[in-house]
Amino acid sequence: MAFIKVPDRYRDGLAEIARLSEGSFSEVYEALAKAPRETSSQTELADRVSEEVGSVGRDQVKNLIAALTSLYQVRGRAGVSSEKLATEIYDAIVREGSDLVRKEDAGEFRSRLEKFLGLDSLNVVASKAKELQTDVERAFCEARILTDLRPVFGSTVEAPIAMVIVHTLKLAYHDAATGNHEEIFVALDGGDIEKLKAVLERAEKKAKSLAARLQTAGIKTVEVS
């Protein structure tokens, strides 16, 4: 598989794997091994594990679960073994010059990660849904509207004769092709904002209508953030 990069949001979870004592690792592993094959969310899975593991804090468990469930999806998508992905992850950490895992802990880290990634309880429904939701060329990250005044001058430039209100929509997105965080800026006027509001409100109504229909049919919807 191609070189991979360790996302910043999963670094704490990966570091926890290396820091766990042998006893704590065994507790977490056994709790995950006993968990159902599929749970609705990372939070639900983290709650289950936390109830059974007394030696690891709730935040630590949450970080672990977040990193592991994401990597489980990566493994399935790439069609590689747990052993190969564990090695790829460690190699990525080394390439980045990170001190996330000490060199003397490399073997144990890879072994633990390999064992974790072999557990089907990491197949969290919300993680799969998130993957489907973001399997696009560009995935939305955030938006902001910048508003400013621009002067309108007459035949002379001594003083403006009027001011115009200008809005700029800043859209930030993740580019799947490059893996980069990109931004685009679009000019808006008052009418454009009204159109945008109407489009968003319509989309919200459609989502609620579809969710109600699915609920009637006994099919649950998954909320992903």
Instruction: Tokens for 156, please give them.
Output: 């002379």
Of 106, 133, 160, the domain-final residue: 133
End-to-end CA distance of the chain: 28
Report CA-CA distances (Å) from 80 to 83, 95, 161, 213: 8, 20, 67, 38
pLDDT by residue (tens digit) across 4-56? 677 777 888 888 888 899 999 999 999 999 988 777 777 888 888 888 888 88
**Same-domain status, 202 and 164:** yes
**Same-domain status, 144 and 184:** yes
**Same-domain status, 143 and 121:** no
| Three-class DSSP category at 15 | helix
Domains of the chain: total: 2
Domain ranges, residue 178:
138-216
Contact assessment for residue 46 and residue 28, using Cβ atoms and an 8 Å cutoff = no
- Length of the chain as a residue count: 225
Contact assessment for residue 20 and residue 109, using Cβ atoms and an 8 Å cutoff = no
**Same-domain status, 23 and 119:** yes
Amino acid 200 reads L
pLDDT by residue (tens digit) across 83-101? 998 888 888 888 877 778 8
Residue 28 is assigned to a structural domain of this protein = yes
Residue 2 is assigned to a structural domain of this protein = no
pTM over 0.85: no
CA-nearest of 74, 145, 171, 154 to 116 is: 74
Of 83, 116, 133, the domain-final residue: 133
Instruction: Indicate the burial class of 219 (C-beta count within 10 angstroms; 0-12, 13-18, 19 or more).
Output: exposed
Rounded to a whole number of angstroms, the CA Rg of the chain reads 24
